[in-house]
Amino acid sequence: MKDDSKVVAQVQLGEVFLSEKINPIRKFMDSQRIRNYVARKSARVFGLSSISDLRVGMRRISLTARVLEVCEPHFIVTRFGNPGVMADAKIEDSSGAVKLTLWGDQIGSVSVGDTVQIVNARVLSFRGEKQVQIGRSGTLRAEREPCN
């Protein structure tokens, strides 16, 4: 409730109410912010086996994929003002492909053709594109393809 652009009351609404057909603010559930919230809240996925199952907002995912390409690293300044180095890679499994964002030391640890095992990653959307990011508590392990 607002009075002269000041919040005077806040009420928490349950998901059951918000999902009811007769709910007057049902369209609110169609917003991207709410979809991301619900995905984060229900993200309890471990040992995810395929890229096609990935949804924006998922956390703590694990997967194994093959590296298709690794772009040149470039320097950036994060939204917090910190400098960093990042590179994008494209990974695939039998179900599809997705962008993998590599930061710092992760960049030199993978190359095209490697099979990577990713543990404790999250799925984000950046500029409308789905991508997998490995946070501080996640791990990335690359296995080189043997030369014949």
Which run of H or E residues covers position 53?
Answer: none
DSSP E strands, the chain: 2-3, 6-7, 61-70, 74-77, 83-93, 96-103, 115-126, 129-143
CB 51 within 8 A of CB 95: yes
Residues of the chain predicted below pLDDT 70: 1-5, 7, 18, 24-30, 38-49, 145-148
Count of CB atoms situated within 10 Å of the CB of 130: 14
pLDDT of residue 41: 64
Instruction: Tell me the Ramachandran region of residue 120: left when phi exceeds 0, alpha when psi lies from -120 to 50, beta otherwise.
Output: left
The reply to whether the predicted model has a pTM over 0.95 is no
Q: What is the pLDDT of residue 16?
A: 76
pLDDT of residue 60: 87
Query: Nearest to residue 83, comparing CAs of 92, 74, 91?
Result: 74
Residues 99 and 54: beta-carbon distance below 8 Å: no
Domains in the chain (CATH in brackets) are: 14-43 (no CATH), 45-143 (2.40.50.140)
Tokens of 119: 């543990």
- State residue 43's pLDDT score: 54
Structural contact between residues 62 and 49, judged by C-beta atoms closer than 8 angstroms: no
